[in-house]
Amino acid sequence: MRISDSIENFIKEMLGEDSHEVELRRNELAEYFGCAPSQINYVLATRFSPSQGYMTESHRGGGGYIRIVRVVETGPQKMAYLVRDRIGDSISEEEALRIIGHLRDSGNATETEASLMAAALGGKAMAVPLTPEVKNALRARMLKSMILALANKQNA
């Protein structure tokens, strides 16, 4: 198990139960896990980014802290609109997968539905001789179509 994963799990466990919010000391956590403090920033950047449904604030200086807030989604329609705005005309595979993960985590897509979408957009499926630009454009269109289909079914 990678250290980054351990840290991620640790934080998610803290968030898991009741509150949507944790506060922690960067140096403490780093020492606890025996890693460089900046490793914490890495974890925040790669696992608790806005596109993964989290926001972070922090404060430097004496008594500093890092606060991680889980953003809860309310209303499938709103979600769909938000995500559509984020997608635009072109999207990378990584970003697409992140959005799909977010849909799953927020309960807007079942496990299976998320897997289906990921399968359609994944590298294996799109392993066809096209330029990255064309692939990204195609992905954006497909993802939007699928999210619309999802939203459509949900309030049907």
Contacts with a second copy by CB under 8 A lie at: 1-2, 5, 50, 62-63, 110-113, 115-122, 124-128, 130, 134, 137-138, 141-142, 144-146, 148-150, 152-154, 156
In whole angstroms, the minimum distance from the beta carbon of 59 to DNA comes to 6
Q: Which of 11, 22, 66, 87 binds DNA (CB under 7 A)?
A: 66
By beta-carbon proximity to DNA, the closer residue of 27 and 77 is 27
- For residue 125, report the phi and psi dihedrals to the nearest 5 degrees: -70, -35
Alpha-carbon dihedral 81, 87, 89, 95, rounded to 10 degrees: -160
Q: Which does 71 bind (CB under 5 to 8 A by kind): a second copy, DNA, none?
A: none
Please report the beta strands in 3-146, taking only residues with DSSP state E, as ranges in sequence order.
Answer: 21-24, 54-59, 65-70
Report whether 90 contacts 72 (CB < 8 A).
no
Stretch near DNA under the rule CB under 7 A, chosen from 35-43, 83-91, 110-118, 140-148: 35-43
Which of a second copy, DNA, none lies near 66, with the C-beta cut-off 5 to 8 A by kind? Answer: DNA
What is the C-alpha end-to-end distance of the chain, expressed in Å? 43
Where b means 16+ CB within 10 Å and e means fewer, 92-124 reads ebebbbbbbbbbbebebbeeebbeebbebbbee
- Does the footprint of DNA cover residue 129 (CB under 7 A)? no
* Residues near DNA (CB under 7 A): 2-5, 24-28, 34-42, 46, 56, 58-66, 94
